[in-house]
A = this chain, B = another copy of it.
Amino acid sequence: MTGYSTSMRIRLPVVCVVLEVILIILFGVLVKYDHETDAKGWHKYIKNHNNKSQVENDFYYRYASFQDVHVMIFIGFGFLMTFLKRYGYGSVGFNFLIASFSLQWATLMQGFFHGMKEDGKIHIGVESMINADFCTGAVLISFGAVLGKTSPVQLLIMAVFEVTIFAINEYVILNVVGAKDAGGSMTIHTFGAYFGLVVTRILYRPELEKSKHKEGAVYHSDLFAMIGTIYLWMFWPSFNSAITAHGDDQHRTAMNTYYSLASCTLATFAMSALVNHEGKLDMVHIQNAALAGGVAMGTAGEMMLTPFGSMIVGFLAGTISTLGYKYLTPILNSKLKVQDTCGIHNLHGMPGILGAIVGAVTAATATADIYGDGMEDVFPDMAAGDISASQQGIRQAVALAVAMAFALVGGVLVGFILKIPIFGSPPDTICFEDQIYWELPEEEDDDHAEMTRVRTVEEKPLNA
């Protein structure tokens, strides 16, 4: 039954090389520098602008946001998932692998659906790099649901399809429906979460109980995970504001996110102590639910929600998320057979929906009096008089439905593809375990082992 072998010796190199060669060929055929990155193009471009300084700044504003988002994708997601005691290599390593693939593939898919120019080429610059990282974020969210239960080949295959579906979904939401979603409550979080949840449902492992003892943390693995948490938390203002309009939009988005997250953190600590019968805090809640305030600000962040409103939303998000970890995850697992390793339903799913709803309500109550000339940046169609605030609100609600639909249908499709038994998926008994795909060092260093031995010997006489 070679189909059930988990060896990556041939499969992983073949998949990596084939994918990368396809990427390289497609980049060679389809991609060129945009006016920002092209030597000739840039110099032509700035000649036509009377304010070179302004134009140059556009790059730097975006580039600074890009670096912050980049940190979230690689350090944030990568280390957040290292909480598992024996899956640290897989968490940070596979995150690294599938993110590296996804950002390249996303450049093509997003370029294909959004930005093909009349020369039949995809023109790329800093903004496309941010968008590629955003799309990668959705893949990494889904990764959280199947963490520890999939081979790197399965993850790459998942990424191929998820990126593609993401790009279509994003195009529909932003360009067809005409909704706003700068920080991706719908396009990134809701989509990524429900996609991943459906995938893990299809990949349901009835015997996973046999790996249960490995599905927890040890002391230091929780601290590694906190590195991920804190980085996500700190840079979320940059994430939500990365592609909003310059000026007040970007300032406001960052600030709303900042206060939402701070409020969310207090709610998370409160709920975590409350639901524990000894009043002890649970690291799983702190690591995850404290971030829900950023997720929930992904749509309304750029709107005139006020810090007051943001703090309410953050508080709600932290509360819902913590309660989800405590009460909903076990039910999803036992009743719906959704084995959600990282609890992405609590961190990205419900807070994403909350964010979409807050966005819809906030949009529906927007007035010219509140936004003034700033309306154009936030709601261009309303500013142009094409639609009313209620209509924008409806668009937002439709967008949520679209995201859910793409996630559910896409997830089912991809889940079944991943079930094909040639991708080296681990058996139920060896999940959450690095040793299947990684060369591991000896369990501990020699000195320690020696010391343990010596101690044992010393203790003997007492018990002889």
0 or 1 for each of A282-309: is its CB under 8 Å from B? (1 = yes): 1100100010000000000000101110
Q: Indicate whether A420 reaches chain B with its CB closer than 8 angstroms.
A: no
Report the minimum CB–CB distance from A262 to chain B (whole Å). Answer: 4
Report the minimum CB–CB distance from A392 to chain B (whole Å). Answer: 15
Q: Indicate whether A32 reaches chain B with its CB closer than 8 angstroms.
A: yes
Residues facing B in A261-275 (CB within 8 A) are 261-263, 265-267, 269-271, 273-274
Q: Indicate whether A206 reaches chain B with its CB closer than 8 angstroms.
A: no
Q: A371 touching B437 by the CB < 8 A rule?
A: no
Q: A262 touching B100 by the CB < 8 A rule?
A: yes
Q: Indicate whether A54 reaches chain B with its CB closer than 8 angstroms.
A: yes
Q: A447 touching B443 by the CB < 8 A rule?
A: yes
Report the minimum CB–CB distance from A145 to chain B (whole Å). Answer: 22
Query: A126-B251, A279-B7, A443-B448 are known contacts. Are A308 and B31 too (CB-CB below 8 A)?
Result: yes
Interface centre among A304, A311, A378 (most CB of B within 10 A): A311
Query: A8-B279, A278-B7 are known contacts. Are A70 and B250 too (CB-CB below 8 A)?
Result: no
0 or 1 for each of A221-246: is its CB under 8 Å from B? (1 = yes): 01110110011011101100000001
Q: B251 touching A283 by the CB < 8 A rule?
A: no
Q: B262 touching A104 by the CB < 8 A rule?
A: yes
- Interface SS of chain A: helix
Contact of A234 among B75, B255, B263 (CB under 8 A): B75
CA distance A452 to B222 in the complex (A): 22
Q: B439 touching A282 by the CB < 8 A rule?
A: yes
B-chain residues with CB within 8 Å of residue A74 when the two chains form the complex: 230, 233-234
Contact of A42 among B56, B100, B238, B248 (CB under 8 A): B248
B-chain residues with CB within 8 Å of residue A139 when the two chains form the complex: none
Q: Indicate whether A352 reaches chain B with its CB closer than 8 angstroms.
A: no
B-chain residues with CB within 8 Å of residue A195 when the two chains form the complex: none
B-chain residues with CB within 8 Å of residue A227 when the two chains form the complex: 75, 79, 227
In the complex, the count of this chain's copies comes to 3
Query: A219-B441, A251-B36, A252-B39 are known contacts. Are A67 and B238 too (CB-CB below 8 A)?
Result: yes
B-chain residues with CB within 8 Å of residue A374 when the two chains form the complex: 38-40, 42-43
Q: Indicate whether A438 reaches chain B with its CB closer than 8 angstroms.
A: yes
Q: Indicate whether A12 reaches chain B with its CB closer than 8 angstroms.
A: yes
Q: B273 touching A13 by the CB < 8 A rule?
A: yes
Of the candidate stretches A18-26, A165-173, A177-185, A410-418, the one touching chain B is A18-26
Q: Indicate whether A445 reaches chain B with its CB closer than 8 angstroms.
A: yes
A79's nearest neighbour on chain B, judged by CB, is: B227
B-chain residues with CB within 8 Å of residue A248 when the two chains form the complex: 36-39, 41-43
Q: B451 touching A453 by the CB < 8 A rule?
A: no
Of the candidate stretches A196-204, A209-217, A339-347, A355-363, the one touching chain B is A209-217
CA distance A304 to B57 in the complex (A): 22
CA distance A60 to B64 in the complex (A): 9
Residues facing B in A357-393 (CB within 8 A) are 370-375, 377-378
Q: A278 touching B40 by the CB < 8 A rule?
A: no
Q: Indicate whether A218 reaches chain B with its CB closer than 8 angstroms.
A: yes
Q: Indicate whether A422 reaches chain B with its CB closer than 8 angstroms.
A: no
Q: Indicate whether A258 reaches chain B with its CB closer than 8 angstroms.
A: yes
Q: Indicate whether A1 reaches chain B with its CB closer than 8 angstroms.
A: no
Q: Indicate whether A63 reaches chain B with its CB closer than 8 angstroms.
A: yes
B-chain residues with CB within 8 Å of residue A402 when the two chains form the complex: none
Q: B222 touching A224 by the CB < 8 A rule?
A: no
CA distance A85 to B254 in the complex (A): 36
Q: Indicate whether A118 reaches chain B with its CB closer than 8 angstroms.
A: no
Q: Indicate whether A350 reaches chain B with its CB closer than 8 angstroms.
A: no
CA distance A370 to B7 in the complex (A): 46
A-B contact pairs, 23 of them (CB 8 A): A9-B278, A10-B274, A10-B279, A20-B266, A23-B263, A24-B263, A28-B306, A33-B252, A36-B248, A39-B304, A39-B371, A43-B248, A43-B373, A53-B57, A67-B68, A67-B235, A74-B230, A88-B219, A89-B223, A100-B263, A103-B262, A282-B439, A457-B462
9 shortest interchain CB distances as A-B pairs? A39-B374, A9-B279, A40-B372, A42-B248, A43-B373, A16-B270, A100-B265, A8-B279, A28-B308
Told that A57-B60, A125-B255, A218-B441 touch, could you supply 6 new A-B pairs with CB distance under 8 A? A23-B311, A27-B311, A36-B251, A101-B262, A282-B439, A457-B463
